[in-house]
Amino acid sequence: MNHFIDQASRHVRLNEGTAAIEQLLLECYLHPGISTKELARKALLPIPVAAAIKRELIKTGAIRQDRGVRCTAEGTRWIEEEWGYHALNKPLHQTLMDDDKDWICELKNVLSDLKHYFSLRPQADVRIDQSQCTAETSLRRAILGLRQHALIGKRILCVGDDDLVSVSIALLMKRLFPEGGHTGTTIDVVDIDERFLAFIGGIAEREKLPIRFYRHDLRQPLPAALHASYDCFYTDPPYTLSGMNLFVSRGIRALKTKKGLPIFLSFAHKSPEFMLDIQRDFIRMGLTVCANYPRFNTYEGAEMIANRSQMFLLRTTDQTAPECAGIFTDALYTGEVRQTLRTYCCKQCGDTVFVGAQGDVQTIEQLKNQGCSSCGSRTFDRVETKRPDP
């Protein structure tokens, strides 16, 4: 079997890496008869560069010039077998790739199934900065990956997955390949929370989804078996600078060593000074910011971040390397970093309880679950918040 991408890349030296060649070949498959100008537009390349790639792909026998550019029979067979595009629902795929189309209407059955599973998921553990995004947000993340050509035929990693992005991606694949048999896409989840791993595992078994999972504390380096194995990763890390740095570093270690691989990072909206620090970290890790989508993510009951967060689309470069490669020993989660101590008053009897890492209980959710130690009431008012001196 010919490796068209490798053959073409030997003759076209691209700063964008082989990802640009892959995208041009894929566009010829998805849009037979596409013009060189449109190929350049879709790949965000200068027309002369797109034309040079086209010429090399023609030499390999993958595409041909015939009333526009289209794949040869051999090129089509290669894409369908090697990348797993055989039996793709092309009309649905084309609709989902269009930013202006209403994907919720097209995927209402998938969204309905997701909402059912989301209603059953474990409670968020705020001690490790978990927050529960909506089913629509989880599926929107999957569609963003689809539009970046980061799902079909790819190895995908979720670095933490209390938002069930793995399930959203897998159910989207089932919808795109209604005849079944698609084996090109695999999804792995790394998480410390056994509750979510078991929950995702149950869904994967019931729905026959290609999801594998690993219980792992990201303070420790990733297992060697996961290194340099993935085409992209998703993460919604703790909303601390150290949390973002650690989760992205672990994801980078898991990515293949290629330029242009996408990273989907969800993170809270922060002050300009904080965002500057984040972008400095991106630069130190050799990542570029390709896009930023404010208010992309919606959460349930996450008032501390106004129920919204942004989505960064990052890409790797030839300088990409993890900032944190060894064991992580610093403060990671918001509670650890800020060490906030809050005083709550029982509405029924007036007893006070200290809530925080150094308090009587660690979280307000835990306090509500166990109730007031004096009267058993489960309703409380916050009366005071103390933070350590800087």
Sheet of 308-316: strand order equals 132-133, 287-300, 308-316, 262-267, 232-235, 155-159, 186-191, 211-215
Phi/psi at 323 (5° precision):
-70, -40
Candidate from 73-87, 156-170, 252-266, 294-308 with smallest mean pLDDT? 294-308
Q: Region 154-166: what's the mean pLDDT?
A: 97
Rg (CA), the chain: 23
Among 5-19, 37-51, 301-315, top mean pLDDT goes to: 37-51
- Give pTM, 2 decimals: 0.85
> What is the model's pLDDT at position 302?
57
**Containing H/E element for 166?**
helix 165-176
**Containing H/E element for 7?**
helix 4-9
Candidate from 29-38, 196-205, 229-238, 367-376 with smallest mean pLDDT? 367-376
Among 4-8, 126-130, 258-262, top mean pLDDT goes to: 258-262
Express as a percent the part of the chain with pLDDT over 70. 93
Mean pLDDT estimate for the chain: 90
Q: Region 78-90: what's the mean pLDDT?
A: 93
3-state secondary structure of 372: coil
**Containing H/E element for 234?**
strand 232-235
Judge whether 316 and 258 are in contact, CB under 8 Å.
yes
Report the b/e string of 45-67 with b at 16+ CB within 10 A.
beeebbebbbebbbebebbeeee
Domains of the chain as residue ranges with CATH: 4-83 (1.10.10.10), 93-316 (3.40.50.150), 339-386 (no CATH)
pLDDT category of residue 256 using cuts at 50, 70 and 90:
very high
Q: Looking at the chain, how many residues does it have?
A: 390
Q: Region 241-265: what's the mean pLDDT?
A: 95
The residue whose two tokens read 């795109």 is: 176
Other C-beta atoms closer than 10 Å to the C-beta of 96 total 20
20: left (phi over 0), alpha (psi -120 to 50) or beta: alpha
pLDDT category of residue 1 using cuts at 50, 70 and 90:
very low
Candidate from 10-24, 64-78, 107-121, 266-280 with smallest mean pLDDT? 10-24
Candidate from 211-215, 241-245, 260-264, 332-336 with smallest mean pLDDT? 332-336
Q: Region 94-119: what's the mean pLDDT?
A: 92
